[in-house]
Amino acid sequence: MAFLSLKVSPRWKFLMALLLLTSIATYAFIRSEQIREHVENVWEINDVKTGILLDMRIALKGVDKALESFANPALDSAAVKKSYSEELVKYQWFETSVTKYMERSALTSRNEKAIMHKLALDRGEVQKTMQRVDQMLSNGQQAAIPDVIIKELRPGAMSRWKADVDELIAVENEANAQAGQAASASYEQLRTTVLLMCALVVILGLMAMWFTIKGNSDATAVA
């Protein structure tokens, strides 16, 4: 500390140190508030994204339930196909929302992006199969549709699609926990630094007051 070599009284040195530490403590406090706001924003975004993922899984179960209805011979295939389309529209809204959050978030990992890519491929396979179902409906092949859905689609691409969503939720939960812990640790560490700085400011302030009082007493005694 270069200012200790200055030819000034100890009282002024302590006052300079007090001013320096006060500035550092003020900066640390401002920085800790910024980190706190960042932590809260991270948690808020992650909570919203996780909530949408859970809603997406529920909507996907609706899609699968509609496909399962093809096994019921008492139901009209065209009506079941319409129900499937309606459930798919609900699901796609949630998937689009999650994709937007992932594009905006700096916390999105390569693993999450890879799962989303795999999910899109499996969803595409389901949609291709449903295009075949459309053709079968147009060609009057309703009787063959349950075999395509129950024996081919649901155990295959539909099952993988559901597994992709479950995997994405698990990865998201783990990433959220790690990000939250890291942010909390940074905030706690900086807050501890601020408290130590404040303690040093108080101690130096008391010492500066003592030197001031002592200096005044000495000056009075000399006079």
CA distance 97 to 39: 22
Residue 216 lies inside a defined structural domain of this protein: no
CA distance 188 to 169: 28
Residue 180 lies inside a defined structural domain of this protein: yes
pLDDT at 41: 74
Q: Phi and psi dihedrals of 24, rounded to 5?
A: -65, -45
Residue 28 lies inside a defined structural domain of this protein: yes
Whether the Cβ atoms of residue 198 and residue 25 lie closer than 8 Å to each other: yes
The CB density around residue 12, as the number of other CB atoms within 10 Å, is 15
pLDDT at 157: 92
Residue 135 lies inside a defined structural domain of this protein: yes
pLDDT tens, the chain, 223 aa long? 444 455 556 667 667 767 777 777 777 777 777 777 777 777 777 777 788 888 989 999 999 998 888 888 788 888 888 888 899 898 988 888 888 877 766 557 788 888 888 998 999 999 999 898 889 888 888 888 888 888 898 999 999 999 999 998 888 888 777 777 777 777 777 777 777 777 777 776 677 677 666 655 655 555 5
pLDDT at 30: 79
Residue 2 lies inside a defined structural domain of this protein: no
Tell me how many domains the chain contains: 1
What is the residue range of 87's domain? 10-190
Residue 116 lies inside a defined structural domain of this protein: yes
Residue 201 lies inside a defined structural domain of this protein: no
Which positions ≥6 away from 176 have C-beta within 8 Å?
43, 46, 50
pLDDT at 4: 46
